[in-house]
Structure 1
Amino acid sequence: MITLHWLYVLAGAMFAAFALLSAADRSNPKRFGNAAFWGLMAISLLAGDLIGDLGNGFLVLGLAGLAGFGFVGRGSPPTTSEEERERWSARLGNRLFLPALIIPATALFGTLLYNYTPLGQSGLFEAKRETYVLLGLGVLLALLVVFLWLRPPALAPLQEGRRLIDSIGWAAVLPQMLAALGVLFAAAGVGDIIGGLTRSFIPEGSVFLTTVVFAVGMALFTMIMGNAFAAFPVMIAAVGVPLLVQAYGGNPAVIGAVGMLAGFCGTLMTPMAANFNLVPAALLELKDQYGVIKAQVATALPLLLFNILLITVMAFR
C-alpha cells in the first residue's frame, strides 16, 4: 500500500537535494545558511516521526533562527539562460505547459477512477489519501515526460526547483507553522476565552452582532495565523457552535461553510498568508512586496460584509 509517508520521503529527498546543491553553490554568500535551512526541512520530513516532539521543537527553532537572523539568501543556480528560454518558447509555444498540466490531471482523473471504479477495491493507496498520493505521482509523471521530451540535463529540475524555493525563501514553511499555531491556540483554550468575552459584551439574543463577531473574528484570526483552516477551530469553538448553532439554532452547514469564506477574506489582507500574497510578489519581482495585498483589500472588505449578511439570512431562516 502506498501511504502518505511515501510522499514525505519524496519531499524530504527533494529538500535534501536542495540542501546539498546550496552548499555547493559558491556564488551564494549565504550558501551554508540555505543548506542548513533546507537540510532541517529535509530532516523534518524524513525523520520527523523519529526525533519526537522535543526534537521537532528544536528543529523549528533552528528554522526560525536561520531565517530570522538573515542566514538565508537567494542563490543563482546554473539554469537555462534567457536566450534559451526564448528559443524554447518560440519553438514549442503553449505546449511547454503540458508537463505542468499533467500534475492536476493525474490527481483529478486518478482520484475519480480510484473512487468510482473497481480499482478502489485494490487497496493500492492509503484510505482517504489517494488524492495526495496521485498528486505526487503526477509530479513524477510530469518529470518523466520532461526528460523524454525535452531531454534537459539530469540536475535541471532540482536546480530550477532550488531557484524557485530560494526565491520564496522562509515564506515556504510559514503556512505549516501557522497551521500548527492554530492547533496550539485551540488546545490552549483561546476559543473559550473569546467565547466568554463575546457573551460578556453582546446582548443575549443578538444574532446579527454575534454573527459579526464570528465572521470578523474568522478574518482577523486568519490574518494573524495566515490560514483560515487554522483560525476555524478557534472561532467555531468560541462563537460558532456554542452561540450561533446551539444557542440561536443556526444551520451548522451554512455557518461553517460561509465562516470559512469570511476567513478567506482575511487571507487576502495579510502577509502571513505568504504562499498567496508574498510568494507571487517575489516570483513576479514586484517592486512592492505588499502590492498583491493592497490590490486585494478593495475586494476583501465588501466580500466580508456580504458573508456576514449571508450567514444572517441563510443560517437562521
Structure 2
Amino acid sequence: MIDMKFLQVPAMFNTVMLDVVWIIVGLIAFYAGIKNLLDKENPSRIGTAIFWCSFGVVTALGSWLPPKVSGALVIVMCMPAIFKKVKVGRVNAPTKEYTKAQYSKIGMKIFVPALTVAVMSLFFALFSNVSSMVGITIGVAISMVLLMVYSRDNKPKVFLDDSERFLSLMGPLCMLPQLLGCLGGVFTAAGVGDVVAGLVGNVVPEGNVNLGIVVYAIGMMLFTMIMGNAYAAITVMTVGIGGPFVLAYGANPVVIGMLALTCGFCGTLCTPMAANFNIVPVAILDMKDRWGVIKNQVLVAIIMITIQICFMIAFK
C-alpha cells in the first residue's frame, strides 16, 4: 500500500505547535476578558472579565500549570457563569451598509477563505502526520492573509475584535466541549463502564450479538446526549457494552467502532449539551426559539440511528 502521508514531521513539532495553538486561543480569551473589563457598557464587566481571563490562563498555560491550580481556575471560571454574570459588552459589528459594500467589491470570492480552512485541514489529515488542530490553524492564518488582500480594512485588530465578539456571543458555552471531553476520561477512570456492563448484563442474553448491537447503538446516542460529546461517550459505552456484548463474540471492531461513533453523532443532534452545534448557532443567529436547531434535527437523528443499527447488524 502506498503511504499517502508524504509530509512527515517529528512528534516534537506537533507537541510544540499544539502548545502554540492553545497559547493563541488563550491569549484571545484573555483579550476578551480585559476588553470587557474596560467596557463601561457591559452590565457585568467584572464577572465577564473573571470568566474570560480564567479561561484564557487555563487554555494558554494548561500544559504547565499544576493540576490543582488548573482545577481551581476552572472553579473560579464557573462561578460567574453559574450566577449569570457573563454578559456581552459593546459590540463592534459591521453595519449592513458596510457589509453590502464589501460584498459588492469582493463578491463570491468571500467564500474562498472559509474553504481554505477546510482544504488545509483535509490536506494535513490525508497527506501528513501534522495535528488536525495545527492544520486548521494554518488554514486560518492563510485565510486571514487572503482577507487582508481583499480589503485594507482587515487589519490584525479587526480579526482580534471579531474573535472576541464571537466568543462573547457564545459566552460560557465555549468551555463545554473541553469540560465534557474531560468528563469522558473521568467516567472511564471511575469505572462507569463496568457499572454499565453489569446493568446491561441483566438485559442482554449472553451471545445475542444483534440485541447487543441495538443496546450499544442506542446507548451511544443517549450517553452522547448526556455528555454532549460522542468521543467521550464511546469510551464508556465500548467498555461497558461494545466490548463484552458485541466485540467479544466476533463482530468486526472496525465496522462496529466506526458506526457506533456515528450513532453517538445522532445523539449530538438532539442535545443542548452539544453547545457548539445546537446552542451556539442560536446565539449567533439570534433565533427566537432556543430549541429551534434541535427541533429540526430530531427526526433526522431518529432516521439515522435506525439506519446505523441496520448497517451494524448487516455488516458485523
Give TM-score scaled by structure 2 length: 0.89
Alignment of 1:1-317 (within 5 A): 1=13, 2-109=16-123, 115=128, 128-152=129-153, 153-246=155-248, 248-315=249-316
Distance 2:267 2:125 in 1: 31
Q: Indicate conservation of the 8 Å contact 1:281/1:289, yes or no.
A: yes
Cα displacement (A) at 1:45:
2.0
Distance 2:182 2:195 in 1: 19
Q: Which residue of 1 aligns with 2:9?
A: none
The one-letter amino acid paired with 2:185 is: V
Deviations 1:247-278 (A, max 9, x none): x2111111101111111111111000011111
Unaligned runs of 5+ in 1: 116-127
Cα displacement (A) at 1:108:
3.2
Distance 1:154 1:103 in 2: 18
The one-letter amino acid paired with 1:84 is: Y
Percent identity (aligned): 36
Distance 1:272 1:43 in 2: 24
Q: Indicate conservation of the 8 Å contact 1:3/1:129, yes or no.
A: no
Distance 1:226 1:53 in 2: 24
Q: Indicate conservation of the 8 Å contact 2:173/2:275, yes or no.
A: yes
Distance 1:80 1:112 in 2: 37
Q: Indicate conservation of the 8 Å contact 1:77/1:160, yes or no.
A: no
Q: Indicate conservation of the 8 Å contact 2:33/2:52, yes or no.
A: yes
Give TM-score scaled by structure 1 length: 0.89
Q: Indicate conservation of the 8 Å contact 1:18/1:158, yes or no.
A: no
The one-letter amino acid paired with 1:155 is: K
Q: Aligned pairs, how many?
A: 301
Distance 2:130 2:193 in 1: 30
Q: Indicate conservation of the 8 Å contact 1:79/1:156, yes or no.
A: no
Cα displacement (A) at 1:111:
5.4
Q: Indicate conservation of the 8 Å contact 1:25/1:77, yes or no.
A: no
Cα displacement (A) at 1:207:
2.2
Distance 2:197 2:147 in 1: 53
Unaligned runs of 5+ in 2: 1-12
Q: Which moved more, 1:88-97 or 1:235-244?
A: 88-97
Distance 1:130 1:298 in 2: 35
